[in-house]
Amino acid sequence: MPFLRFRWAPRAAVAALILTGVLTAQDLGHLDDDGLQKLVVELQPVVEKVCGRKFKQPPVAVLSDSGDMMRVFRVELGPQVTAMYKGQARSRIRRALQLRADMLGASVIGKYEFASGEVLVVPERVMQNLAIFGEPDNDDGDPGRDPANVLRLFVAHELVHALQDQEMQFGKRYAATTRMDVIDSLALRTEGHAVMASELVMEELGLTTTKKVAPAIISGSQKPLQGTGSFLESRMNRCRSALLYLTGADLMYEARKQGGNDKVWQILHGDETLAQLLRPRDVSHKIVNLKACFDGIEDQLASRTWIVGRNVFSEIQQLSENYAEREKALQLLAKCRGAAEWMANSASPFSWRAATSLRFVDAETATEYRELAERCAVLDLTLALGKAVKAEAGPELSDSVSCVLVQHEGLGRAQVSLHWFQRGKHLVQVTMANAPLADEVLTAVAEKVLSGLMEQASK
């Protein structure tokens, strides 16, 4: 998605501009539209240079706030959320959309709005994010760490999205699909390009240290992500931004090395799947949509007042959950031939259940993947809690392997359980956050899903 959470003058002249220029850290809270537009004018030729393309219309940036951001997200996320929760009451869909838009709108620094073609910016969030993930005090006097220059980085990022929209109709392509696998593939390319190009802009401006701040804000951590751990209720979104933004940037840097900006724009204009982008040397196999295996489980796995939805499978979800062993997970997912995702939310964002079904080429691969998923979950929770935990045998299910990892209540955290049920080459993962189920209900659900998977496989 075209947002970030929480990127022609000689170098000597540019350095003087940064040190004495139109914007200082103290000015961030008092910046007006004219001052922001001056920053855009400064950055535009540098963005064009590193991207190898010219703007067809001059980019425009305006100051924004949480209300503006929420409004934009409600519009742009509407088709996806409606498709995900197809068949649900409209009031519940509106509730789910509002919750998602509010969460995103309250955190982003910048956003390119498809409808208006404008870049929306919330400058004060630079300081908020730096206070958590960066070095706002700039004690060493390095202009690359100045908050004003960090703002330049994020404005440059959104200007790249504006250029993408003019060049490849980014907004229309984004609006043309509700499939999460297609959207994630588009996001990997466009966000990766925006990260790379904004970093190159900082290099052109002589601010190489500034570009080191963004990865911590994007990933939500100053530490290496594989060492931070995660509570189980956070794993569905853990490392997603890092994969889409930072892994996407790695792919774009490699493309630029191979064929310059022409190669980069070729990839941006293309329609490669996530599998083709992440595993370019492998033969791409279609992952069949198995969402029919979830038919009939709503009454058992979700309350009638909950909002229930299904997603086409996207590898980003599984890679983000298993980030500590993502390279191995990527190899094993190459042997996945079918998958689907199911989710249900109560009126509270803290109470929900989710399930993922996976069909591998054989039982050995399914076993290897299940064991990898257990290891990653155990490592995440061990690091997050600061004490050793382990997965245990789960509720018994005939002809199946059943395992469970439980995050018990305490320290202000809800009880969350992560279950795996494997029968041959089929694997079902169920996560329950602050919404436990009796073992007999859970095993009945797992039996129904596994039987559905095996029935589909026999057709």
**61 or 217, greater pLDDT:** 61
The helix-helix angle for 66-84 and 180-204 (nearest 10°) equals 150
**442 or 11, greater pLDDT:** 442
423 has which bridge partners? 426
**C-alpha pair distances (Å), 256 with each of 39, 45, 197, 243:** 27, 19, 10, 19
Reduced to 3 states (helix: H, G, I; strand: E, B; else coil), residue 448 is helix
CATH of domain 288-458: 3.40.1000
Say how far residue 247 (Cα) sits from the centre of its chain: 11
What are φ and ψ of residue 157, in 5° steps? -55, -45
DSSP 125-193: HHHHHHHHHS-TT-TT--GGG-HHHHHHHHHHHHHHHHHHHHHH-HHHHHHT---HHHHHHHHHHHHHH
- Using CB atoms within 10 Å of the CB of residue 89, give its burial: 0 to 12 exposed, 13 to 18 middle, 19+ buried: exposed
Average pLDDT on 28-32 reads 75
**197 or 214, greater pLDDT:** 197
- Asked if the model's pLDDT at residue 9 lies above 50, the reply is no
- Asked if the model's pLDDT at residue 351 lies above 80, the reply is yes
**49 or 291, greater pLDDT:** 49
Average pLDDT on 184-198 reads 96
- Asked if the model's pLDDT at residue 224 lies above 80, the reply is no
* Beta-carbon contacts of residue 359 (< 8 Å; ≥ 6 apart): 288, 290, 336, 337, 338, 339, 425, 426, 427, 453, 457
Average pLDDT on 338-345 reads 93
Q: What share of the chain has pLDDT > 70, as a percent?
A: 89
Give residue 442's identity as a one-letter amino acid code. L
Give the pTM. 0.88
Q: Which pLDDT does position 304 carry in this prediction?
A: 83
Indicate the pLDDT class of residue 142, thresholds 50, 70 and 90: low
Nearest alpha-carbon partner for 132 in 221, 66, 4: 221
User: 5-9, 266-270, 415-419, 444-448 — which is least confidently predicted?
Assistant: 5-9
Q: Which pLDDT does position 211 carry in this prediction?
A: 79
Indicate the pLDDT class of residue 293, thresholds 50, 70 and 90: very high
- Asked if the model's pLDDT at residue 420 lies above 70, the reply is yes
Average pLDDT on 128-132 reads 79
In this predicted model, what pLDDT tens digit does every residue of 362-415 receive, in sequence order? 999 999 999 999 999 999 999 999 999 999 999 999 999 999 999 986 555 568
Per domain, the residue ranges of the chain are 3-222, 288-458
Between strands 118-121 and 110-112, the pairing is: antiparallel
- Cα–Cα dist 334/328, whole Å: 10
Q: Which pLDDT does position 18 carry in this prediction?
A: 31
